[in-house]
Amino acid sequence: MAWTTWRDHCRPIIAEVIQRVGTKDPRALRAALLEAYPYGQRSMHPYKIWRDEIRRQLSPPPPKTAYRRRTAPPPAEVPGQLSLLPLNQKP
């Protein structure tokens, strides 16, 4: 028997409502999604997953950008302070 999660159960319901109602009228879409909620009381973990899945399906995909790794600046030299590295330096 395969495990199903709250998200696996919510995903097709939300997708069907979005496809049926469309995204032109946000109020009508919100009302249809509120009506389609399948779990009864709107609280706790299932409702959080429901809202998160709505957010995921309605938000645009993240942009694909190339990230550059930042390099740390070299440590500042302080007169009179001893350095720990390299260890073979004399004070």
- Domain total for the chain? 1
In a domain, 17, yes or no: yes
Residue 91: the pLDDT is 54
- What does pTM read for this prediction? 0.65
Percent of the chain scoring above 70 in pLDDT: 85
The domain of 43 spans 6-58
CA distances from 63 to 25, 42, 66, 67 (A): 25, 32, 10, 11
In a domain, 66, yes or no: no
CB 14 within 8 A of CB 33: yes
Across the chain, mean pLDDT equals: 84
In a domain, 29, yes or no: yes
Give the confidence band of 90 by pLDDT, cuts at 50, 70, 90: low
In a domain, 33, yes or no: yes
Q: Does the pLDDT of residue 51 top 90, yes or no?
A: yes
In a domain, 39, yes or no: yes
